[in-house]
Amino acid sequence: MKEVEISRAIVEAYFNDLLENLSLDVAIVGAGPSGMVAGYYLAKNGAKVAIFEKKLSIGGGIWGGAMGFNRIIVQEEAREILDEFGISYRPFKSGLYVADAVEAATMIASKAVKAGVKFFNMIEVEDLVVKENHVAGIVINWTPVMMTGLHVDPLTVEAKFVVDSTGHGAQISGHLLKRGLIERIPGEGPMWAEKGEKLTVKHTGEVFPGLYVTGMAANALAGAPRMGPIFGGMFMSGRKAALEILKRLG
C-alpha cells in the first residue's frame, strides 16, 4: 500500500463525482434538514440532484436540538416523514413526538445518499447563474477560499432548478437581492412556533424563475416567524419543494 495510491483513489473518486454532477436537474444549497429531505425525495423519484454545503459537517442546526439538548420535536402532521426515514420517536402529548437529533440527522443523511443524492461539503455558492430572467445554475468555490478572501475565480454548475435551503440567512436568495432581481428579504420574525411551522410550509416554493426556497429561508423571504427546535415544518417544507419540482421535471 503506497501513500500515492491512497491519494490517487480519493482524487479520482471525488473528481469523477464532481464531473458527473456539473449538470444537474436540481442543485440544492445547504445540507440542513429541509435541504436533505428535499434531496432525498427528488433522488428517490429519479431526479439527478446534488447538495452543496459550505461547512465541513452536514445537518445544519439539527444536531444540537435545543440549547445543546440533542432532542427534537416533530408534530403529528410530519410523523409520516419520520417513518419514511426510519427515525425512532416517542409520543409526548398533544400530537407532539420527541426524536433523537443525532439519529434524525444521520438517518436522513444516510437515506439521502442511498437514494442517490451527491453531497459536496466545504463548497460555498458565491453566486447564481441567471439567464433570460431564469436561474440556471450555481457558482461555486472552496469554502476556505471564500473565508480567506483569496482572489480565485469560481466554477459553475448547471441546474434546471436551484433550491435555497441555507436557513435563517437565505444566502442564495440574497444574491438575487444584491442584483436587484428581487425586491427585498425582510428576514425572519420573532419566535412563534405554531405559526412559524405552518408558514414554513406555506411559503415553500418558487420565489424567482428556477429558484425555490425551503425551511427557514422560506420564512426569511416572507418575514414569517422562527419556530425553534420543532422540525416537522422543515421536513414537510423539503418534501413539498421536491414534489413541486418533480412535477415540473415531468
Query: Per-residue pLDDT tens for 61-74?
Result: 999 999 999 999 99
Q: What average pLDDT does range 212-227 have in this prediction? A: 97
Provide the whole-model pTM: 0.97
Segment (H or E) for 120: strand 118-121
With respect to residue 117, please indicate whether it lies within any of the assigned structural domains: yes
Average pLDDT, rounded, for the chain: 97
Dig out the grid coordinates for 16 from the structure: 469523477
Summarize pLDDT for 149-194 with one digit per residue, the tens. 999 999 999 999 999 999 999 999 999 999 999 999 999 999 999 9
Q: What average pLDDT does range 190-214 have in this prediction? A: 97
Tell me, what's the pLDDT at 1? 83
Tell me, what's the pLDDT at 35? 98
pLDDT over threshold 90, residue 218: yes
Residue 94 or residue 37, greater confidence: 37
Tell me, what's the pLDDT at 172? 98
Summarize pLDDT for 120-151 with one digit per residue, the tens. 999 999 999 999 999 999 999 999 999 999 99
Q: What average pLDDT does range 47-73 have in this prediction? A: 97
Tell me, what's the pLDDT at 94? 86
How many CB atoms are closer than 10 A to CB 184? 8
With respect to residue 69, please indicate whether it lies within any of the assigned structural domains: no
With respect to residue 190, please indicate whether it lies within any of the assigned structural domains: yes
Range of the domain at 195: 28-60+102-249
With respect to residue 22, please indicate whether it lies within any of the assigned structural domains: no
Give the whole-number percent of the chain exceeding pLDDT 70. 100
With respect to residue 119, please indicate whether it lies within any of the assigned structural domains: yes
With respect to residue 12, please indicate whether it lies within any of the assigned structural domains: no
Segment (H or E) for 124: strand 123-131
Q: What average pLDDT does range 16-44 have in this prediction? A: 98
Secondary structure of residue 242 in the 3-state scheme:
helix
176/238 Cα distance (integer angstroms): 21
Tell me, what's the pLDDT at 90? 97
38/61 Cα distance (integer angstroms): 16
Distance between first and last Cα of the chain:
48
With respect to residue 89, please indicate whether it lies within any of the assigned structural domains: no
236/196 Cα distance (integer angstroms): 13
Number of H helices, E strands in the chain: 9, 11
Secondary structure of residue 204 in the 3-state scheme:
coil
Tell me, what's the pLDDT at 98? 98
Alpha helices in the chain (DSSP H): 3-20, 33-44, 79-85, 101-115, 143-148, 171-178, 193-202, 215-222, 232-249
With respect to residue 23, please indicate whether it lies within any of the assigned structural domains: no
Provide Rg for the chain, Cα atoms. Answer: 18
- The structural domain count of the chain equals 1
Q: What is the CATH number of the domain that holds 209?
A: 3.50.50.60
Q: Which amino acid is at 194?
A: E
Tell me, what's the pLDDT at 58? 97
